[in-house]
Structure 1
Amino acid sequence: MGNRRGPAIVPQDGEKTMKIQMALAVMAFLPAAAMAQPVDQPKAEPNPKTNRYAEVSNFFKLPPGRSMGSSSAVAGDSKGNIWVVDRCAANDCAGSKLEPVMQFDAKGNFIKAWGAGLFLFPHGFTIDNRDHLWITDGHVADGKGDVVMEFDQAGKLLRTLGKPGVSGAGPDTFHEPNAVLIAPDGSIFVSDGHLPDKGNARVIKFDRDGKFVKQWGGHGKGPGQFEMPHCLAMDSKGNLYVGDRGNDRIQVFTQDGKYLGQFTQFGRPSGIVIDRNDILYSTDSESRAAAGYGHHPGWQRGIRIGSL
């Protein structure tokens, strides 16, 4: 599910994921005509197409004794390796000695892991064009968390955005940052705020040096407002896609925050990825299902795919 132009986030909040799913319960391939322009779109049928994909169980070969916890993020690097960030074989890394950042080859063979003691609740993840890893930490305690961190592939911390252990709504603080995306020019985008109706609900833009540029958003259902901006992606034209999970939609903006439109046919987006062919993949981990969270009645959890 990973690509290097957008954050390959596959959140399973509160769930243990023991396998890679090339397709979840439902996959809907939406024709290009349905998404020709980033303008407001009517809701499509919830699950209109047959799943054409096969699920590959136990794809990742974990070290002996290691299990996969809530796997909040996955991405691929320029060499074809797959990186997975889990929450320390559970749904939280607080107090754990496990290393949550794991590298695998293209066949799922384990290469290495690092990151013990660095995170409380690793959430969003992307790999930039230098193969640096960017990870958001969405909880705060004991002087840690509510930050966005940049690492090299050996696990060396290169940069931190935000103030570790400090929550806030200013230009240099976050409150439960969800996702991070690095634009081709090095601009940094962070979607901030995991709580509906309170806390932050914004997208923040920084320049390549980490200097605050601007922010937009706020709680609500209108254009440019959010209820849990959970994930980010960018298309080949440089438009920014924000998975507005609490509002069951994906909103589209310019990189300066100008609203372009929204899509509502992709379910309740927990993660979105746009590949080099401008195919959008949306993971829906929360819509109503037999073991679901009860959100978005009438829709099933799964991965939905559409061409832009």
Structure 2
Amino acid sequence: MTGLQRLFRFAGIGPGVPIIMVAAACGAGPDAEAAAGVDPVNDLPNPYERIEPWAELPPGATQWGQVTGVEQGPDGSLYVMHRCFENTCADRPENPIVKYDMDGRALASWGAGLFNYPHGFHVDYEGNVWATDARGNGQLGHRVFKFSPDGELLLTLGQAGVAGLGTDVFNQPTDVLVLPGGDFLVTEGHGEGNDRVVRFNPAGEFIDAWGGPGSGPGQFSTPHAIARDSQGRIFIGDRANNRIQIFEEDGTFLEEWKQFSRPSGIFIDEDDTIYVADSESWGPNNPGWKKGIRVGSARDGSVSYFIEDIESTTIEHSGAEAVGVDSEGNVYGGVVRRRMLEKHVPVR
């Protein structure tokens, strides 16, 4: 079965239907309806102390941009991505990717001129830094980049400013995950787009694609984040469907979880503790669920802690959209609307 046939299978249509009809046939996700029957998980302990904002401003910046990515690399450094100013890096001088030491001092930065709308962020097992540009402006966007730990551009996928459904183009790539063997997965769809997962080999050659727009098993409405547990299962934050979907590495659907609310970001550590950032609940998207970071087990789906956002019951989207955890157990939130990097330190 080819990658595009696989995409048809998950979308529930036959291979004779023109590709352009996939999105039109399936429609958008049901948003608040997707969490029906699951009581909000809000009343949990918070064993962390909040520090915000944290870290120096990015070099050359007079204020933080919208922070969309934060992860620690194997070298011990903390890598952060932000959207420069006014939610875009187009025609901006700032470097959207910044490398910090663990005291919050900036060590290096890069990426100016490459991005329109920095979005997905990932540091792989070798320390390479991956980033997606989720929206096009005619000249930039719809691309995936791989950098060395020091900012050397190693790989570029997609066509600048060109949105499409195929083997060499993206439509709103939202996140990226490198698998242990070197293959990598890219999620697509940010309100528009393909709502699929694409797999590439280490050289960036297309292998397979799966998913499609909708709310059924294996379908997506804004697949916003992707992570992997110790068993090799793939966790995808299907944000506009208010759920996490879990798959085998080949795209075989396993189950869905709604107890982590509306997922914008997912991080799973080596002990299978899962951290899920919810930056959009409480309002009409997911009524009754407070915004914040929910912490639990990727093994059994239990939720143990809730780092409630300071604006958890505002209608506006706020709070951490990206989430990362360092080797000391500190939790970092990439905050978009309030433009900052926050740090949550365990209370010993």
Q: Which residue of 1 aligns with 2:193?
A: 199
Summarize the Cα distance change of 1:207–1:46 in structure 2 as closer, same or farther, 3 Å threshold: same
- Letter in structure 1 aligned against 2:140: K
Aligned partner (choices 77, 96, 103) of residue 100 of structure 1: 96
Q: CA RMSD in A?
A: 1.6
Could you tell me which runs of 5 or more consecutive residues in structure 1 were left unpaired when the two chains were aligned: 1-41
Q: Which residue of 2 aligns with 1:274?
A: 268
- Letter in structure 1 aligned against 2:232: G
- Residues 105-144 of structure 1 correspond to what in structure 2 (within 5 A)? 105-144=101-140
More divergent stretch after superposition (135-144 vs 177-186)? 135-144
Q: Which residue of 2 aligns with 1:178?
A: 174
Aligned equivalents of 1:170 and 1:185: distance in 2? 24
Q: Which residue of 1 aligns with 2:46?
A: 51
Q: SS where residue 246 of structure 1 aligns?
A: helix
Q: TM-score, normalised by structure 1?
A: 0.81
Aligned partner (choices 51, 63, 67) of residue 71 of structure 1: 67
- Residues 1-308 of structure 1 correspond to what in structure 2 (within 5 A)? 43-62=38-57, 63=59, 66-195=62-191, 198-288=192-282, 294-307=284-297, 308=299
Q: SS where residue 54 of structure 1 aligns?
A: strand
- Letter in structure 1 aligned against 2:264: S
Q: TM-score, normalised by structure 2?
A: 0.72
Q: Which residue of 1 aligns with 2:29?
A: none
**Given that residues 66 and 89 in structure 1 are in contact (C-alpha distance below 8 angstroms), is that contact kept between their aligned partners in structure 2?**
no
Q: Identity of paired residues, percent?
A: 42
Could you tell me which runs of 5 or more consecutive residues in structure 2 were left unpaired when the two chains were aligned: 1-36, 300-348
Cα deviation code 1:175-212 (max 9, x no counterpart): 110000000111110000111xx531101111222121
Summarize the Cα distance change of 1:58–1:169 in structure 2 as closer, same or farther, 3 Å threshold: same
- Letter in structure 2 aligned against 1:54: E
Summarize the Cα distance change of 1:44–1:237 in structure 2 as closer, same or farther, 3 Å threshold: farther
**Given that residues 132 and 151 in structure 1 are in contact (C-alpha distance below 8 angstroms), is that contact kept between their aligned partners in structure 2?**
yes
**Given that residues 272 and 281 in structure 1 are in contact (C-alpha distance below 8 angstroms), is that contact kept between their aligned partners in structure 2?**
yes
Aligned equivalents of 1:258 and 1:282: distance in 2? 22
Q: Which residue of 2 aligns with 1:35?
A: none
Aligned equivalents of 1:97 and 1:183: distance in 2? 33
Shift of 1:140: 1.2
- Identify the structure with the greater helix proportion: 2
- Letter in structure 2 aligned against 1:206: F
Q: SS where residue 140 of structure 1 aligns?
A: coil
**Given that residues 286 and 294 in structure 1 are in contact (C-alpha distance below 8 angstroms), is that contact kept between their aligned partners in structure 2?**
no
Q: Which has the larger radius of gyration?
A: 2
Shift of 1:126: 0.4
Shift of 1:218: 1.1
Cα deviation code 1:22-81 (max 9, x no counterpart): xxxxxxxxxxxxxxxxxxxx7354213132211112320225753111101111111211
Summarize the Cα distance change of 1:80–1:44 in structure 2 as closer, same or farther, 3 Å threshold: farther
**Given that residues 125 and 179 in structure 1 are in contact (C-alpha distance below 8 angstroms), is that contact kept between their aligned partners in structure 2?**
yes
Aligned equivalents of 1:247 and 1:226: distance in 2? 7
**Given that residues 137 and 146 in structure 1 are in contact (C-alpha distance below 8 angstroms), is that contact kept between their aligned partners in structure 2?**
yes
